[in-house]
């Protein structure tokens, strides 16, 4: 069994590393797939493991995106002039400046959203059920609206992230560079969460999901664990946002950064499609969703969002357990559940 | 402070009056939300989309040459059936399920409706001209469009009508009984399925009234539904379920807040301030409740 698992991991690793050479035309698409997997994995920390259904993780995504690009620019040039110049680049990064800015920006794009999550977590994670869901929805949209009003970061028009520096390679190298960083981040997120779910932390999250009051009565400081969970999510989502901003090269407050209508919805639907509350569910869900999206979106031609709305309704109403939940029902033995055959037969007869 | 509103204090009167008239409209939407929240325990994220859809009905009457004010009669009738069929296709599957499932399902409906409206009605900002003229107060310092006064008046009439209907009619009694205890109502012979469908329909009809009033007083756009959902949610949580004067008052308060935010922070932060206020209210509520929980301990 363990050998089997290791084999799967190695296969995914080999596939991930080989993609730029196997499918050079789809590098950007697959990089976005890794980002989507990060988003759905981190959403699942709240939505699946902890039972706190958030619409607000997109807040950290946008925050990371703006922070990373602002830092990259602001370290070397005046930010206001950069955004004021719009599409025309008046300043050019040298390669060293670019990479220095990029890594500093990326790290801060993880840390600052994590701090924000810790700061607002105490207030917001105390809410339960639908209050939490709607509060986070409001938070994400408020952030988008406010970012759209700040002149320094380009207001409603948005800003450009720094272009790839000249003199070290063409756009091929650029997309390969971003591809591998996205892939590495995805691996880090996955391994970290895999480790975290095996520790006491994961158990406490599940206890909070099952019955928070009882968990509290057992002497667990649930608030600490809830905040920690959100900080972890915010950290990875923030970095993913910073990467995404650099990769697509243009940041717009409502459409790309605080994109409640696209990524904010995607992360929820991916996790639910794959099966929330499982480690592999979000990964499978994100992959299935992305393949569906990229493969069939073009057939809808403008009706994509209609299809998205319909997909949400269908998945939520008819398929709330997701792919993993369905597999688990079908092959319980594979999930380490012991089935008493006599008991199962008796139940079937009862029905 | 060199803000205009502090230099010209009469603007405060203007903002307050605007806000109160606007708030009455919000209260009408919130009343529908409180109704279905109380009866079905569902939070309908698609509430704002129903409002906008109702508004488009009035707008198309205007395009067809009928005065849009008649929308307040036509729109609720159509919207009642929209709401009813929405219940019969989707909502009845999620009524008894986990709360988040209903939130997500209505969220999906909201996206679906938004995009369908965008497709069918186009993404332009539209407005239905009512030609009601304008009232001037205080020596022409304060201007109030008559359409807004009309809207507030119609909202109040509909709200009063609905309150009486809920008190006196058989269906109203059944709805109230179901809200109190669905199981007991079922045992006593209330067809709760029908009650739920009717409740959802009445909510949609209220949204239709509010939407057609918004069509003549403000502007319509397929994507502006969500702020209405959030406003009505906010009003309901401030007022509490089943507290009608509270809904009216907090609706007006929200309207006044918005108008002042518009003057002080600028129009670009108007929607943002509404959403931020929601977050602040929820967090405040959480701390208030947690103190209560500690007392209980």
Stretch 293-332 of chain A: residues touching chain B, C-beta under 8 Å: 302-303, 305-306, 308-313, 316-317, 320
Strand positions, DSSP E, chain B: 134-137, 142-145
What does the pLDDT look like over B67-98, one tens digit per residue? 877 888 888 899 999 999 989 888 888 887 77
CB-CB neighbors (< 8 A) of A53 in chain B: 100, 103-104
CB-CB neighbors (< 8 A) of B226 in chain A: 141
In the prediction, which pLDDT does A85 show?
67
In the prediction, which pLDDT does B201 show?
92
In the prediction, which pLDDT does A87 show?
54
Three-class SS state of B126:
strand
In the prediction, which pLDDT does A239 show?
92
What mean pLDDT, rounded, does chain B reach? Answer: 84
In the prediction, which pLDDT does A234 show?
92
In the prediction, which pLDDT does A6 show?
83
One-character DSSP codes across A224-267:
HHHHHHHHHHHHHHHHHHHHHHHHH-EE-IIIIIT-TTTHHHHH
Where b means 16+ CB within 10 Å and e means fewer, A28-40 reads eebbbbbbbbbbb
In the prediction, which pLDDT does A2 show?
59
What does the pLDDT look like over B257-274, one tens digit per residue? 888 888 887 777 888 888
Nearest CA in chain A to B279: A135
Chain-chain contact of B113 with A309 (C-beta, under 8 angstroms) = yes
Chain-chain contact of B279 with A303 (C-beta, under 8 angstroms) = no
Residue B277 has pLDDT above 60, yes or no: yes
Using a pLDDT cut of 90, give the percent of chain B over it: 7
What does the pLDDT look like over B107-117, one tens digit per residue? 888 888 888 88
B278 at the A interface (CB within 8 A)? yes
What does the pLDDT look like over A152-161, one tens digit per residue? 777 777 787 7
What does the pLDDT look like over B216-248, one tens digit per residue? 888 888 888 888 888 888 888 888 777 788 888
φ/ψ of residue B134, rounded to 5: -135, 145
Q: Do residues B88 and B197 make contact, with C-beta atoms less than 8 angstroms apart?
A: yes
Point out the residue among B109, B110, B275 whose CB comes nearest to the CB of A141: B275
In the prediction, which pLDDT does A18 show?
82
CA distance B112 to chain A (A): 4
Residue A93 has pLDDT above 80, yes or no: no
Three-class SS state of B182:
helix
B230 at the A interface (CB within 8 A)? yes
CB-CB neighbors (< 8 A) of B94 in chain A: 316-317
Residue A235 has pLDDT above 90, yes or no: yes
Chain-chain contact of B104 with A268 (C-beta, under 8 angstroms) = yes
Which residues have a Cβ under 8 Å from the Cβ of B282 and sit 6 or more positions away? A124, A127, A131, A134, A135, A138, B237
Chain-chain contact of B287 with A302 (C-beta, under 8 angstroms) = no
Which residues have a Cβ under 8 Å from the Cβ of B116 and sit 6 or more positions away? A306
* Rounded average pLDDT over A226-249: 90
Stretch 92-121 of chain A: residues touching chain B, C-beta under 8 Å: none
Q: How confident is the model at residue A248 (pLDDT cuts 50, 70, 90)?
A: confident
Q: Do residues A140 and B279 make contact, with C-beta atoms less than 8 angstroms apart?
A: no
What does the pLDDT look like over A175-187, one tens digit per residue? 888 888 999 999 9
In the prediction, which pLDDT does B296 show?
53
Q: What is the greatest pairwise CA distance in chain A?
A: 76
In the prediction, which pLDDT does A130 show?
79
Point out the residue among B114, B283, B290 whose CB comes nearest to the CB of A124: B283
Using a pLDDT cut of 90, give the percent of chain A over it: 13
B199 at the A interface (CB within 8 A)? no
In the prediction, which pLDDT does A89 show?
60
What's the sign of the alpha-carbon dihedral A286, A291, A297, A298?
positive
> Choosing among B45, B87, B107, B227, which should be mutated to test the A contact, i.e. which has the most A CBs within 10 A?
B107
Which residues have a Cβ under 8 Å from the Cβ of B3 and sit 6 or more positions away? B263, B264
Q: Of the spans A70-84, A164-178, A333-347, B177-191, which averages the highest pLDDT?
A: B177-191
Q: Could you tell me the CA-to-CA distances from A229 to A43, A128, A340, B294 in Å, in that order?
A: 10, 16, 36, 25
In the prediction, which pLDDT does A3 show?
66
Nearest CA in chain B to A132: B282
* Rounded average pLDDT over A42-53: 87
What mean pLDDT, rounded, does chain A reach? Answer: 83
Q: Could you tell me the CA-to-CA distances from B60 to A94, B147, B215 in Å, in that order?
A: 57, 18, 10
What's the sign of the alpha-carbon dihedral A233, A238, A241, A243?
negative
Backbone angle region of B69, left / alpha / beta, with phi > 0 → left and psi within -120 to 50 → alpha: alpha
What does the pLDDT look like over A198-207, one tens digit per residue? 999 989 988 9
Chain-chain contact of B266 with A155 (C-beta, under 8 angstroms) = no
* Rounded average pLDDT over A263-270: 86
* Rounded average pLDDT over B131-138: 72
- Rounded Cα gap, residues A126 and A226, in angstroms: 9
ipTM of the complex: 0.82
A127 at the B interface (CB within 8 A)? yes
In the prediction, which pLDDT does A86 show?
61
Q: Do residues B19 and B257 make contact, with C-beta atoms less than 8 angstroms apart?
A: yes
In the prediction, which pLDDT does A56 show?
84
* Rounded average pLDDT over A22-39: 86
Work out the angle at residue A244's Cα, subtended by the Cα atoms of residues A276 and A110, and round it to the nearest 5 degrees.
75
In the prediction, which pLDDT does A113 show?
92
One-character DSSP codes across B141-159:
TEEEEHHHHHHHHHHHHHH
Q: How confident is the model at residue B118 (pLDDT cuts 50, 70, 90)?
A: confident
Nearest CA in chain B to A312: B108
Q: How confident is the model at residue A267 (pLDDT cuts 50, 70, 90)?
A: confident
Where b means 16+ CB within 10 Å and e means fewer, B128-143 reads bebebeeeeeeeeebe
What does the pLDDT look like over A107-137, one tens digit per residue? 998 999 999 999 888 888 888 777 888 888 8
Point out the residue among B93, B112, B278 whose CB comes nearest to the CB of A309: B112
B115 alpha carbon, distance to own chain's centre: 20
* Rounded average pLDDT over A231-241: 92
Chain-chain contact of A139 with B279 (C-beta, under 8 angstroms) = yes
The model's pTM: 0.86
Chain-chain contact of A138 with B103 (C-beta, under 8 angstroms) = no
The single-letter DSSP state of residue A165 is P
- Rounded Cα gap, residues B180 and A296, in angstroms: 47
In the prediction, which pLDDT does A349 show?
67
């Amino acid at each position: 069994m363990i050998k089997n698992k290791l084999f799967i991991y190695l296969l995914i690793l080999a596939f991930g590393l080989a993609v730029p050479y196997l499918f050079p035309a789809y590098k950007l698409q697959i990089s976005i797939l890794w980002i989507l997997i990060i988003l759905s994995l981190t959403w699942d920390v709240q939505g699946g493991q902890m039972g706190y259904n958030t619409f607000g993780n997109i807040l950290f995504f946008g925050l990371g995106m703006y922070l990373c690009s602002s830092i990259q620019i602001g370290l070397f040039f005046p930010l206001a002039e950069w955004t004021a110049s719009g599409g025309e680049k008046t300043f050019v990064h040298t390669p060293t400046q670019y990479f220095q800015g990029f890594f500093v920006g990326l790290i801060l794009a993880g840390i600052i959203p994590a701090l924000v999550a810790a700061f607002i977590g105490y207030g917001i994670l105390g809410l339960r059920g639908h209050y939490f869901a709607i509060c986070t929805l409001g938070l994400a949209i408020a952030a988008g609206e406010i970012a759209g009003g700040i002149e320094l970061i380009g207001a409603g028009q948005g800003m450009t992230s720094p272009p790839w520096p000249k003199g070290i390679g063409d756009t091929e190298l650029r997309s390969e560079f971003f591809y591998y960083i996205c892939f590495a981040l995805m691996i880090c997120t996955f391994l970290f969460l895999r480790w975290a779910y095996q520790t006491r932390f994961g158990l406490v999250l599940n206890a909070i999901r099952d019955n928070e009051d009882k968990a509290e009565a057992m002497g667990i400081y649930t608030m600490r664990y809830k905040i920690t969970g959100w900080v972890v999510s915010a950290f990875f989502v923030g970095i993913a946002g910073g990467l995404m901003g650099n990769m697509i090269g243009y940041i717009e407050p409502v459409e790309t950064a605080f994109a409640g209508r696209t990524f904010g919805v995607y992360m929820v639907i991916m996790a639910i499609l794959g099966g929330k509350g499982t480690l592999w569910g979000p990964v499978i869900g994100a992959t299935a969703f992305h393949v569906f999206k990229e493969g069939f979106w073009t057939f809808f031609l403008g009706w994509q969002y209609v299809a998205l709305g319909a997909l949400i309704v269908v998945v939520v109403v008819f398929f709330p357990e997701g792919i993993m939940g369905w597999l688990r029902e079908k092959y319980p033995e594979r999930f380490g559940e012991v089935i008493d055959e006599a008991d199962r037969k008796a139940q079937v007869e009862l029905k | 402070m060199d803000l205009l509103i502090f230099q010209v204090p009469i603007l405060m009167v203007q903002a307050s009056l605007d806000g109160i008239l606007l708030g009455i409209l919000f209260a009408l939407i919130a009343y529908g939300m409180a109704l279905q929240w109380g009866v079905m325990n569902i939070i309908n994220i698609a509430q704002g989309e129903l409002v906008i859809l109702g508004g488009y009905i009035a707008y198309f009457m205007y395009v067809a040459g009928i005065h849009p004010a008649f929308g307040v009669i036509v729109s609720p009738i159509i919207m009642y059936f929209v709401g009813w069929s929405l219940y019969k296709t989707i909502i009845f599957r999620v009524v008894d399920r986990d709360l988040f499932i209903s939130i997500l399902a209505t969220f999906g409906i909201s996206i679906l409706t938004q995009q369908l409206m965008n497709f069918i009605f186009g993404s332009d900002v539209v407005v239905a001209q009512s030609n009601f003229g304008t009232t001037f107060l205080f020596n022409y310092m304060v201007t109030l469009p008559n359409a807004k006064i009309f809207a507030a008046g119609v909202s109040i009439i509909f709200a009063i009508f609905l309150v009486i209907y809920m008190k006196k009619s058989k269906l109203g009694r059944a709805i109230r009984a179901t809200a109190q205890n669905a199981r007991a109502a079922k045992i006593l012979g209330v067809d709760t399925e029908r009650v739920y469908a009717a409740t959802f329909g009445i909510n949609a009809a209220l949204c239709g009234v509010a939407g057609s009033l918004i069509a003549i007083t403000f502007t319509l756009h397929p994507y502006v539904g969500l702020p209405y959902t959030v406003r009505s949610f906010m009003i309901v949580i401030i007022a509490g379920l089943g507290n009608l004067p509270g809904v009216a008052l907090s609706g007006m308060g929200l309207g006044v807040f918005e108008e002042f935010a518009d003057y002080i922070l600028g129009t670009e932060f108007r929607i943002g301030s509404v959403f931020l206020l929601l977050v602040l209210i929820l967090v405040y509520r959480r701390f208030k409740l947690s103190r209560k929980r500690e007392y209980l301990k």
